[in-house]
Structure 1
């Protein structure tokens, strides 16, 4: 599969908002509110049912009650992350306190809303969560594309690339690798082409994202 095909088909699935609350009335009210503004929603009374549901594959945000029957919402969110469902969370609670809100924010919560909350506040929090999820997806997609491009380099091109992104001159790279400066220039041009960059600054940025600036790929 070519790089262009990879970039074309690595797309974000339609996002789903998961709502986990053991209060049926509130859960249905939140779900209806979100659907009214165009969101795809799946509601759950039990977090274990949520974790096992196919909807988690397209989840982009979770609304979690802090105090569920038999469960702690913060622990549920941690369990989600450990299960590969790494999505932003909006926590809601009728029994909030400062230590709990601090723990929630440290756990990566987008917001911590005490009940009763305004519809606008919830919708704004969900919008922020979806934006964060989209940004995270784009970063992962970009990283995957860079990795795919990197895999097309020969071992020698890889060495030359590391030399370039660590700031070495062509003659220094040639000396380190025991090759001619002309050969370095040829490899360098090939690296720029394969990595789809025009400026050295863009190649350096790609190397930083891929973690190559530490020189681990010199050998």
Structure 2
């Protein structure tokens, strides 16, 4: 599926189902952990690896849909695949509207579950990569001096060194030096690369 084995969490009160899915997942190269309730899952310390959650709709204890909303409010973006033997259309619509990857009715085909897991893992990988990329950009920006941030903000607006020098009342050679240092700290070699890298990042424009 992906180079690093993903981790699939199974939350279902049917022990036979949990064991069967757990065994099948491991046979196709997925790490898996299973729990008999939402509360058991919550108490477990999760690892920082691409993952998704197989969540039964009908279980004793905490309502899975309420739990889905709680995860969303807490900015926990683990992809959720709902599974149930007693589903209906309104229930499916509710789950998908709140961001579920899929809603599968038992008994389901292994391929359908595999496709849903792939979608969930891919989504989690993309999110984690985006967060890492943003963290890397923030780290680069933190190295910039106030003057370098100011100059790069003009660079991103398309101004030339001469135009920036005029705006700031500095010598063009001074702008060139600051700009070169800033581009090095940002690990970029062109304006296009710089603009793409800081897209959506407000720190650069902070004075």
Using structure 2 for the length normalisation, give the TM-score: 0.88
The CA deviation at 1:143 is: 1.0
Is the 1:88–1:129 contact (alpha carbons within 8 Å) kept by the matching residues of 2? Answer: yes
5+ residue gaps, structure 2: none
Report the Cα distance in structure 1 between the residues aligned to 2:199 and 2:171, rounded to whole angstroms: 26
2:16 to 4, 8, 25: 25
Task: Give the aligned partner of residue 131 of structure 1.
Answer: 122
Report the Cα distance in structure 2 between the residues aligned to 1:14 and 1:149, rounded to whole angstroms: 30
Using structure 1 for the length normalisation, give the TM-score: 0.84
Between 13-22 and 104-113, the greater mean CA deviation after superposition: 13-22
Q: Provide Cα deviations, 1:79-112, integer angstroms capped at 9, x if missing partner.
A: 3344564211111122222232222222221111
Task: Give the aligned partner of residue 120 of structure 1.
Answer: 111
Structure 1 stretches (4+) deviating beyond 6 angstroms?
none
Give the root-mean-square deviation of aligned CA atoms.
2.2
Report the Cα distance in structure 1 between the residues aligned to 2:169 and 2:89, rounded to whole angstroms: 62
1:200 to 157, 171, 191: 191
Report the Cα distance in structure 1 between the residues aligned to 2:38 and 2:48, rounded to whole angstroms: 15
Report the Cα distance in structure 2 between the residues aligned to 1:166 and 1:208, rounded to whole angstroms: 12
Q: Secondary structure of the equivalent of 2:46?
A: helix
The CA deviation at 1:18 is: 0.6
Q: Secondary structure of the equivalent of 2:114?
A: helix
Are 2:77 and 1:86 aligned?
yes
